[in-house]
Structure 1
Amino acid sequence: VVPKAIGRKARILAEANAFKESAIARAEGDAQRFSLLAEQYRAAPEVTRKRLYLETMQDVLS
């Protein structure tokens, strides 16, 4: 029983660590994308707004 519990504990910890790393990587990617988008928006707000709208509509309609 004890070895089985130790194995289960190790698996749960490994899964939790993998989830944590995945969540961190996703959040860092999202933050980087937002920073680039904010930079583009500051340079050309109207063009960026229109591009985002068109990209969203394309995603929705496809």
Structure 2
Amino acid sequence: GALALWVPLEGAVRLFAVVSGVVLVVGVVADLVWRGGSEVRGGERAVEWSAPVGRAVSVEEGR
């Protein structure tokens, strides 16, 4: 809204859309990098999660 004080409303909306898209893409890429791009097998993540007591368990063992 404040940007519309300096540029026409149409330009402000377009800039907001572009910046929002860039932030979305950067967030998705950062999430994939942070999680290590873990694969999905059979609808479940192929990573180990920590149990509440701090012991690592596999997805199959955690059922």
TM-score (norm 2): 0.48
Flag the structure with higher helix content.
Answer: 1
Flag the structure with higher strand content.
Answer: 2
Q: For CA contacts below 8 A with separation 6 or more, give which structure has more relative contact order.
A: 2
